[in-house]
């Protein structure tokens, strides 16, 4: 099975993410912040590749994937994880439900991938896993959450009963430098933490055939007409002054 997965990886991970995947699988850090522009495939990397592989590699953990608003999950992170399971050729080993209200289950061990909206952060306290603990959390569209305090309330509930944790956070940086998510990352960059790795990516690292010609036509048109918007939307740079 490992050989089959390795063959598939080059078909679903942009080359710049290979060192990051190695870092994740070896648990070199416990917090991973992935930021960047549209088409950078950072969310595909986390939800579709890293999380399924971590479950296969670590039989005692479960995963919990979050969006701020629950009704966005069905068309975003839920199909993202399913896509990766199929890309890795692991679909026969996972029980995949029709909607996100039922967790995805890794059949050999009973491990689960849960999905939850943080419309009400108190919901997290009711999470019960069948065995061991939640070792993986993923906060997609980080800037849409209320702030770091909201995320801390979640991890205080999930980070219990184990010794290895992976905390993924992904977002397209908002235009304002003063947005809390941008300031959070800037703080980590100014004072690096041993357990935190920050990755910045853009469409330029992704094979062109994955994105298609129309994507690049739109990119070049915006780059010519509005360079500032291009820098923000496709390069993932907070170009606003914060005013």
User: What positions carry a catalytic annotation?
Assistant: 141
In 3D space, the residue among 222, 62, 36, 72 whose CA is nearest the CA of residue 131 turns out to be 62
Give the SS3 label for residue 108: coil
The torsion angles phi and psi of 196, rounded to 5 degrees, stand at: -120, 130
Q: Which residues, including other chains, have CB under 8 Å from residue 149's CB and lie 6 or more apart?
A: none
Report d(CA 198, CA 226) in Å as an integer.
28
Looking at residue 99, the DSSP 8-state letter turns out to be: S
Q: In this structure, what token pair is assigned to residue 190?
A: 């100014």
Other CB atoms within 10 Å distance of the CB of residue 173: 24
Using alpha carbons only, give the angle 48, 54, 57 rounded to the nearest 5 degrees.
135
């Amino acid at each position: 099975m490992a050989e089959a997965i390795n063959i598939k990886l080059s078909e679903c991970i942009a080359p710049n993410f290979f060192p990051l995947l190695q870092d994740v699988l070896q648990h070199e850090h416990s917090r991973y912040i992935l930021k960047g522009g549209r088409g950078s495939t950072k969310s595909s990397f986390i939800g579709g590749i890293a999380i399924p592989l971590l479950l296969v590699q670590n039989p005692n953990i479960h995963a919990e994937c979050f969006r701020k608003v629950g009704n966005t999950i069905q068309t975003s992170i839920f199909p993202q994880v399913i896509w990766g399971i199929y890309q890795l050729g692991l679909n026969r080993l996972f029980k995949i439900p029709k909607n996100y209200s039922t967790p995805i289950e890794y059949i050999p061990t009973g491990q689960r991938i849960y999905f939850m909206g943080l419309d009400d952060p108190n919901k997290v306290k009711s999470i019960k896993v069948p065995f061991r603990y939640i070792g993986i959390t993923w906060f997609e569209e980080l800037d849409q959450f209320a702030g770091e305090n909201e995320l801390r309330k979640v991890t205080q509930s999930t980070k219990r009963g184990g010794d290895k944790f992976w905390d993924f956070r992904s977002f397209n940086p908002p235009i304002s430098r003063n947005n809390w998510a941008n300031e959070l990352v800037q703080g980590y960059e100014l004072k690096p933490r041993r357990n935190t790795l920050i990755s910045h990516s853009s469409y330029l690292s992704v094979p062109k055939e994955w994105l298609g010609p129309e994507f690049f036509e739109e990119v070049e048109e915006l780059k010519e007409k509005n360079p500032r918007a291009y820098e923000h939307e496709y390069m993932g740079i907070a170009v606003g002054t914060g005013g």
